[in-house]
Amino acid sequence: MKIKWLGHACFLLTGENGIRIVTDPFDATVGYPLPKVEADIVTTSHAHFDHNYTDAVEGDFEVVDGIGDFYIKDIPIKGVKTYHDDAMGEKRGGNVVYIMEIDGLKVCHLGDLGHLLDENTIEHIGPVDVLLIPVGGYYTIDAEQAMRVIAQLAPKLVIPMHFKTPAIDFPIAGVDVFLDKIGGGEKVGSNEIEVAANDLGAPTRVKVLEYK
């Protein structure tokens, strides 16, 4: 599987079978170049401009934007109910966490998760191989909370997202705050990596992708 970071919470996930999934596409006001990529499936975690601008995506794709179990183009996808804040959605509404099985790997995209997970939610999410997790705070969980969510889900690979870069003007923290908390990680110097099931194991690894 190839994982390409397009900025913010938007990734292009490409399986060995060529199926392409785009997560949380954003509009031009965010600051990154629009994710003008082709997709077969697009997931949106919630209805905010920086996470659901499907018009930026090209191709004949299906949109997944809700809770439940989906099976699209041989890809199992589960949407799990969470919230965009720590007040059960009273401040910013709901958020959907997606778990996608690609090339034998369980990829979990947390969207704009705004709280720690309870036991019921952890059980619904299930085992996680690759965790795409917000770390910038303010609108989402912050670096300290991200560490606790990582401990809750015990993924094999962590890829941080939704953090401050020179491309955006949001009042969120940069990724180094998270890396300092968690004790380091690898800045891969690219916006894309390849991941295979036999490459992953204990302990949990952290890889930071670079937007382009």
What would the pLDDT profile of 137-179 be if each residue is shown by its tens digit? 999 999 999 999 999 999 999 999 999 999 999 999 999 999 9
Which of 152-184 are b and which e, b meaning 16 or more Cβ less than 10 Å from the residue's Cβ? bbebbbbbbbbbbbeebebebbebebbbeebee
How many distinct structural domains can be found in the chain?
A: 1
pLDDT tens, position by position, 57-86: 999 999 999 999 999 999 999 999 998 878
User: Could you tell me the residue range of the domain that residue 113 belongs to?
Assistant: 2-208
User: Which run of H or of E encompasses 80?
Assistant: strand 75-83
**CATH number of the domain encompassing residue 10:** 3.60.15.10
- Does the predicted model carry a pTM greater than 0.75? yes
Nearest by Cα to 41 from 26, 59, 71, 62: 62
